[in-house]
Chains A and B, each alone.
Chain A
Amino acid sequence: MMRLSILEDMKLTLKVWRQKNANTKGQLVTYKADHVSPDMSFLEMLDVVNEDLIHKGDEPIHFDHDCREGICGACSLHINGRPHGPKQGITTCQLHMRSFNDGDVIVIEPWRAAAFPVIRDLVTDRSAFDRIQHAGGYISVNTGGVPDANCIPISKVVADEALNSATCIGCGACVAACKNASAMLFVSAKVSQMALLPQGQPERYQRVQAMVTQMDQEGFGNCTNTGACEAECPKEISLSNIARMNRDYFAANIFKE
């Protein structure tokens, strides 16, 4: 196919975490990436490196990805020490090589957290997030037999605020960013969405307790309010969710007594 880009190729050095599986030790391995177009996305750059590796008979680098447009939450690379790389408010798949310079050295690692064990290379097991949602991330309604949608008026301000929380893509960057590997931002986003909406009220306190209990069982660390999670969140989920969850959690304990 024709080369459409008018921009020059860049040359990069990559240091990539390679780990055969959960039971072996990993290490950083150095690769050269010599034909990188600034128009490429970060994952497309890795695709090109992988094609080279396969041609050479090496194993390609494994990483999670799917939508490649910043919404599925699959991609999860720790790039030069930051979850999803140097830019604010985007995921790894939305990062483009024009954010780097010719000659850069780029270190690529998986999320680091006890609750997210490495499966292979840059792929981690984030099923702990699912289990927290199983514990209470829902409103208990069955299919059918619900009222007409407009019977539940919700102010635009509240609906917008609930959507801000619900925007979380469950990627785990908050955990990866936190020195304690705490999952508070993730959990509080779901708790907040439901706590803000009238539909979420009946189970409000039960929900927060169930989800926090599961979070603790999964081995995530404590929140010490450093705010790194908010700073690195690709969807810019606000710390105020954590405050809201804490309030509900304490209220839940009082109501229980």
Chain B
Amino acid sequence: MTLDAKIPEGPLAEKWSKHKFNLKLVNPANKRKYTVIVVGTGLAGASAAASLAELGYNVKAFCFQDSPRRAHSIAAQGGINAAKNYQNDGDSIHRLFYDTIKGGDYRAREGNVYRLAEVSVNIIDQCVAQGVPFAREYGGLLDNRSFGGAQVSRTFYARGQTGQQLLLGAYSALNRQIHAGKVTMFSRHEMMDVVTIDGQAKGIVTRNLVTGNIESHAGHAVLLCTGGYGNVFYLSTNAMGCNVTAAWKAHKRGAFFANPCFTQIHPTCIPVTGDHQSKLTLMSESLRNDGRVWVPKTKELAAKLRNGEIKPADLKEEDRDYFLERKYPSFGNLVPRDVASRNAKEMVDEGRGVGTSGIAVFLDFADAIKRLGEETVREKYGNLFDMYQQITDENPYKQPMRIYPAVHYTMGGLWVDYNLMTTVPGLYALGEANFSDHGANRLGASALMQGLADGYFVIPYTLGDYLASIGPKPVDANHPAFKEAEKEVKAHIKQLLSLKGKKTVDQYHRELGHIMWEYCGMARNEDGLIKAKELISALRKDFWKNAFVCGSNEELNQNLEKASRVADFLELGELMVEDALKRKESCGGHFRIESQTDEGEAKRDDDHYTYVAAWEYKGDDKPETLHKEKLVFENVKLTQRSYK
């Protein structure tokens, strides 16, 4: 099978408008004859479900939380990008496009990224119209802040809770459609499988998490808006429930998985404190606007700090190494995430880390407080500082924060074409669940933008084209394909519940996380990856023999839910490692130790790796097949990324 990304012909700036014109439309009276299934109601899913329902389609929406308002999107802190150029600082659609392509280390499609930049401006308009209370200046107009990888201020925000406000906006639009009867909402439901008939996606099988009922839902198309898979690392900044199950089941039904090894490790998170740790907490990138990152100049000073002989404030300016400012004078503390993370790791590896564990660097606000006053700093970042103090019991107004990188986001995901359709006709992927726009590294404040772009402004157009082509003939949930899928789901659950070994599901998850972090984390090499493959494969086999799963199916059973998700992570982990192994170049967040510049930066190999790796599932325990989608750059010149 050859991958066709379906990027429209023509000049970059005209592709999307031309494409929109060429897409088939569904006549308004016919829309109500179609049912669309939307799995996931985070930013991508809620915006898609609401917008499609407004157009007249019937929508069935699903989430595993008790309410759509609790999707992981709620936790996004810093902001959302848009090329509004309200600051008159030289921003434009083209600049946002360029920054995103470059930030992604030239491993994303030009056409998709340009469209994203184009619709970014509409997103802000839409959210304001819904009543999202973005930060304002005294004159009453919208305020912006700066994020990494950009030299303009284009990030819109609502204190440190931008994701919450955007999600509540999308949730309100969704609620309006639920009230109108156009969306039927199924909370506390987990999608367990995709159902295809004659090769087309026609519905899903779900488990009601309260009763355990296995149910079929039929529709004309299925949209997976199920978020990222960062929790494969066990410790990450993701919410506890984030998982790969929906995407993975779709993968097993024929949807290719793209660039699975592209993981974002966020530089500013609160360091691990002990083995009880269940998740890591992000300190928003926006803090790097005013916070300065440093470690002591020497190992000796670092050692004294660690054992409490001296305090950070005792260190004179000349004894501090503001390593990002030193190495990257033009971007300074605002270099992209992958660069900032790798540098922090380097400092720690050199023995210059701080905190009792030595696995941390400082993020210092002393200068900002001197310059702006504590009140202004509190106004800008108050809730983040409070969060930090709550967790660490240290006051960041008085002493520098300790931070360290943590897994945060997954650029990889289901392969989709320009229309957001996967390799299974009628099956779409939106938001973090797809791979499309961020290449090998995502810029801060661009995930919210992409989720809402997909849901509000892309899928309402592209889905119509497909629906018009298949026609409104009803789909029957009693079709044998549904019965067959239900049977398989039930068998899978039964098998999980039959596991009565010695180790808990969490133990397996934690072990998998260790393997992934150790060998497929911030730095990767061939030997380590080969080892990781063996370890994961052995761990997976052990899981299916020695794990212990409690309770029964016919009840709320959080242990069973977790077991089912971990089982999928154990399969995904191996594919991530395989993908990392095959890509022998470094690019963005994927750092192959074998491929670096003299200065230790990621070194791409454009001659051999300018492609999207799309993996095809071939059956249990069979190696997956790699398909390559060549990336074509007609508008930007590929250069070694430099933030100096």
Question: Do A and B truly interact?
Answer: yes
Give CA–CA (A1, B507) in the complex, Å: 12
Question: Within the complex, what minimum Cβ distance (angstroms) separates B563 from chain A?
Answer: 11
**Interchain CB contact under 8 A, A127 and B67:** yes
A55 proximal to B (CB < 8 A):
yes
Tell me if B399 is interfacial: C-beta within 8 Å of chain A.
no
B178 part of interface (Cβ distance < 8 Å): yes
Complex formed: what's the CA distance from A116 to B365 in Å? Answer: 44
- Minimum CB–CB distance from B422 to chain A (whole Å) comes to 23
Residue B508 lies at the interface, judged by CB distance under 8 Å to chain A: no
Tell whether, in the assembled complex, residue A127 and residue B161 are in contact, meaning their CB atoms are under 8 Å apart: no
Whether A72 pairs with B178 at a CB distance below 8 angstroms is no
Is B69 touching A47 in the complex (CB atoms < 8 A)? no
Smallest CB gap from A121: residue in B: B556
Given A54-B548, A143-B51, A159-B136, residue A1 in contact with residue B124 (CB < 8 A): no
B495 contacts the other chain (CB 8 A): no
B239 touches A66 (CB 8 A): yes
**B290 → chain A closest CB, angstroms:** 20
* A130 contacts the other chain (CB 8 A): yes
Q: A62-B556, A71-B75, A125-B66 given as contacts; is B129 within 8 A of A155 (CB)?
A: no
Nearest residue in A to B557 (C-beta to C-beta)?
A62
* Whole-angstrom CA separation of A96 from B69 in the bound complex: 25
Mark each residue of chain B from 451 to 481: 1 if its CB lies under 8 Å from any CB of chain A, else 0. Answer: 0000011001000000000000000000000
Instruction: From A105-113, A144-152, A225-233, A245-253, give the one contacting chain B.
Output: A144-152
Beta-carbon contacts under 8 Å, B101-141 to A: 122, 124-131, 133-141
- Please report which residues of chain B, range 351-396, place their CB below 8 angstroms from some CB of chain A when the two chains form the complex: 356-357, 387, 390-391, 393
Residues in B134-159 with C-beta less than 8 Å from chain A: 134-142, 158-159
Q: Does A21 sit at the interface, judged by CB under 8 A? A: yes
> Is A180 at the interface (CB under 8 A from chain B)?
no
Tell me if B277 is interfacial: C-beta within 8 Å of chain A: yes
Give the contact-size bracket for chain A.
Answer: 35 or more
Q: How far is the CA of A47 from the CA of B509 in the complex (A)?
A: 14
Q: How far is the CA of A146 from the CA of B456 in the complex (A)?
A: 13
B640 within 8 A of A: no
A160 CA / B137 CA spacing, docked (Å): 10
The digit string for A193-214, where 1 denotes a CB below 8 A from any CB of B, is 1100101100000000000000
- Residues of the B chain whose Cβ atoms lie less than 8 Å from the Cβ of A2: 275, 357
Q: Does A25 contact B (CB under 8 A)?
A: no
CA distance A3 to B548 in the complex (A): 26
B125 touches A147 (CB 8 A): yes
Q: Which A106-159 residues sit within 8 Å CB-CB of chain B?
A: 119-120, 123, 125-127, 129-130, 133-144, 146-150, 152-156, 159
B 211-238 to A, binary, CB cutoff 8 A, 1 in contact else 0: 0000000000000000000000000000
Which of these, B75, B131, B134, contacts A67 with CB under 8 Å?
B75
Residue B176 at the A interface, CB < 8 A?
yes
Shortest CB-to-CB span from A174 to chain B, Å, is 16
One of A10-18, A38-46, A216-224 contacting the partner: A38-46
A39-B273, A60-B550, A159-B134 given; A199·B178 CB < 8 A: no
- Min CB–CB distance A34 → chain B (angstroms): 13
Kindly state the separation between the CA atoms of A144 and B50 in the bound complex, as whole angstroms.
12
- B142 near A67 with CB under 8 A, answer no
Judge if B555 is at the interface, Cβ distance under 8 Å.
yes
Whether B75 contacts A149 by the Cβ 8 Å rule is no
- Asked if A182 CB lies within 8 Å of chain B CBs, one says no
A69 within 8 A of B: yes
Residues A47 and B393 in contact in the complex (CB < 8 Å), given A133-B175, A159-B134: no
Q: In the bound complex, how far is the Cα of B124 from the Cα of A148, in angstroms?
A: 8
CB neighbours (8 Å) of A47 from chain B are 276, 278, 506
Q: Among A3, A133, A136, A146, which residue has its beta carbon within 8 angstroms of that of B274?
A: A3
The answer to whether A134 and B175 touch across the interface, beta carbons within 8 angstroms, is yes
Tell me the minimal C-beta distance from B246 to chain A in angstroms.
16
B65 at the A interface (CB under 8 A): yes
Complex contacts, B196 vs chain A, CB 8 Å: none
Contact with A along B35-59 (1 / 0, CB 8 A): 0000000000001001100100000
Is B241 at the interface (CB under 8 A from chain A)? yes
Q: Name the distance in Å between B399's Cβ and chain A's nearest Cβ.
A: 17
Contact of A123 among B51, B68, B556 (CB under 8 A): B556
Interchain Cβ contacts under 8 Å between A and B, 5 examples = A47-B278, A62-B556, A138-B172, A143-B457, A146-B125
A interface residues (Cβ-Cβ under 8 A, vs B)? 1-6, 20-21, 37, 39-41, 43-45, 47-48, 51, 54-55, 59-60, 62, 64-74, 90, 94, 96, 98, 119-120, 123, 125-127, 129-130, 133-144, 146-150, 152-156, 159-160, 162-163, 166-167, 169-170, 193-194, 197, 199-200
Could you list which residues of chain B lie within 8 angstroms of chain A, going by C-beta atoms? Answer: 47, 50-51, 54, 65-70, 72, 74-75, 84, 86, 122, 124-131, 133-142, 158-159, 161, 163-165, 168, 171-173, 175-176, 178-179, 185, 187, 210, 239-241, 272-279, 281, 356-357, 387, 390-391, 393, 456-457, 460, 504, 506-507, 514, 548, 550-551, 555-556, 558-559
Known contacts A72-B72, A73-B70, A163-B158; can you find 5 more A-B pairs with CB under 8 A?
A5-B273, A43-B278, A59-B551, A130-B187, A146-B129
Instruction: Give the 7 A-B CB pairs with smallest separation, nearest first.
Output: A153-B140, A138-B172, A146-B129, A163-B133, A149-B128, A143-B51, A162-B133
